Every structure is written in structure tokens, then in C-alpha cells.
Structure 1
């Protein structure tokens, strides 16, 4: 059965087809959620909520993007909603651009490990962390990030540039042994 057939059957509330789709994407979507919420239980909850929403809104899936990309966006949004709900306040991302950075300038010391980069990202202020995660780890562009976080593309670029500078500073301290 093709992906299109499975999706069409899911649109008709066919539970077996829904289970096929779920099994096909659950592991990848769990990983996406877990990168954001950093807690296995919360990531499972986010993933379940995302699948429920996806099956409820499946009629809105037009096929312009792959089903996996469409579902991933739902998971990312649900993850961010979960993080926002857990916090008493959400730091507003300001819309004041410093300058447009070259998004491809992500060179770091070869001695810095991937885990050290991930740890440094976790130390970023929230307003930078989400943009950096969406851009670097999830591969979204500024248009998509602005839509997901409900900010302007300019704010996305600005926050990415500031986050990148802060990330490089954190990694520099790590390399020099002055970090934690």
C-alpha cells in the first residue's frame, strides 16, 4: 500500500492505517520532541498529542510537502507549546535587528564535540535557543521559523545571529577551560 493510500484511509478514520502511519513515524517524531523538551515522558506526551492533532487535521494535509515534514512541524509546535506552558512567562523576542548574519558561518574548533555543542545550546537564553535549535538541528529556514515562533523573519535572523555569537562565546570558554 502506498503512502498516499495510507493517508487517504487515515482520512476516513481507518484505525489500521492510522497505526501503520504511527509506526512509520513515531520513533523519528519522538526524537524531534525529545530534542526540545529533554524529558522522555514529556516527549512521549508531545508525540501523542501531535499524532492526535495530525489525524484530526489530516484533511488539511495537501501533499505540498511530505507527510513527515508536515507532521514534524506539528511536533515542533507541540513541543514549543509544552515548553511555554511549563513556564510562567515567555521571554518576548524583540524585533530589533543588529545586522543580517551569514547563516552558514557555523565553524567551531575541531576539538569541540557534538555533545559539547548541544550542551552549549542548552545554556543559551530561551529567545536564542529555540531559533538556533530550529535552524541548526531541525533544518528550518527563517520563513518557517518565523511562522512556528510567530515572529518576523527579521527577528528570526537577528535571534539566530545573537544566538550564534553567544554559542561561540560559550564554546570558547569551554575550550579555554573557563566554562563549567
Structure 2
């Protein structure tokens, strides 16, 4: 059965079709949530809430992107909302007036594993971590990240540049970065 047929059946509230989509995407969405939450119980909860939300809003799915991409955006948003709700107090810094200067070229040693880079990303401050993770790991572009995080396009670009700079410093500290 084709994915679009299953989605159409879900729009008619077909429980079998919903279970089919759930089984197809559950594990992948769990890994997406885990990259943000680092806790399997929280990730499971977010995945469940995301599927509930997706099935409630499935009539809004227009097929412009794959169902998986549409669902992934829901999981990412729910994960970020969950993390934000756990923060006691956050202060928004208006970075619009700050000038961004492109740093020197750098490359990562071939021996660096994805695990090492992911650990370094988790060490970044939250406002940079989300942008860097969405860009480098999840593959979103600046306009999509801006929409997901509800920040301006220029703020997104600034945070990505600064986050990548801090990531570079973290990796350099651990001798994983070489200068070009």
C-alpha cells in the first residue's frame, strides 16, 4: 500500500492505517526525540504526543513534503517545547545589533566519530545547540529553523555561526580540529 493511500485512510480516521503509519515511523521519530532529550522515557512521551497531534491535525497535511518530514517537524517542535518548559527562567538576548565575523577555515580530524561531535553539540548553550543540531544533524535550512524556533532569519544565521564557532573550540580543545 502506498504511503499517500495510508495517509488518506488516516484522514478518514482509519485506526488500522494509523497503526501502520505509527509502526513505520515510530522508531525513527524516537531517535529524533532522543537527540534532543537524551532521556528514553521523555523521548517516548514526546513521540506519543507527536503522533496524537499528527493524527489530530492530519487534515492539515497537504502532501507538499513527505509524511515523515511533516511528522519530524512535529517531533522536533514538541521536543524543543518540552525542553523549554523545563527551564525555570530564560532570558532572550537580542542579537540583531551584533556583527558576525566569519572565522578561519577549519576541518575535523578523520578519526572523529559522530558520537564525539554529538557530545560536543550537547555541550553548547541551548540557544546555539538547537540551531546547530537542527542545521547539521536534522538538515533543516535557515528559514525552516527560524520558523521552528520562532526567531528571525538573521538571528538564526548568527546563532548558527556562533554555535559552529563554539563547536569548533570544543573540538579543538579535545584535539579533534586541525587548522586548514
Task: Please give the TM-score of this superposition, normalised by the length of structure 2.
Answer: 0.91
Residues 31-69 of structure 1: CA distance to partner in whole angstroms, max 9, x if unpaired?
000100000000000000000000000000000111010
- Which has the larger displacement, 3-12 or 129-138? 3-12
Q: Does 1:165 align with 2:165?
A: yes
Q: Which residue of 2 aligns with 1:175?
A: 175
Check the 8 A contact 1:131/1:145 in 2, yes or no.
yes
Q: d(CA) in 2 for partners of 1:106 and 1:34?
A: 29
Report how far residue 114 of structure 1 moved.
1.9
For the 8 Å contact 1:100–1:157, the answer to whether it is kept is no
- Partners of 1:159 and 1:4 in 2: how far apart? 37
| 2:112 aligned partner | 112
Alignment of structure 1 residues 117-132 onto 2, 5 Å? 117-132=117-132
Q: Tell me what 1:145 maps to.
A: 145
Closer/same/farther in 2, CA of residues 85 and 44 from structure 1, 3 Å limit: same
The Cα offsets for residues 91-141 of structure 1, whole Å up to 9 and x where unpaired, read as 425332523759xx7731223332221111111011100000000000000
Q: Does 1:40 align with 2:32?
A: no
Determine helix, strand or coil for the equivalent of 1:107: strand
Change (3 A) 1:129 1:112: same
TM-score, scaled relative to structure 1: 0.91
1-structure distance, mates of 2:77, 2:4: 24
Q: Which moved more, 1:125-134 or 1:86-95?
A: 86-95
Equivalent runs, 1:56-95 vs 2, <5 Å:
56-95=56-95
Residue segments in structure 1 that go unaligned for 5+ positions in a row:
none
Q: What is the alpha-carbon distance in structure 2 between the residues aligned to residue 59 and residue 93 of structure 1?
A: 37
Root-mean-square deviation (Å): 1.7
Provide the secondary structure at the position in 1 that maps to 2:112: coil
**CA 1:151/1:93 → structure 2, altered by over 3 Å: closer, same or farther?**
farther
Structure 2 residue ranges without an equivalent (≥5): none
- Stretch moving more, 73-82 or 110-119: 110-119
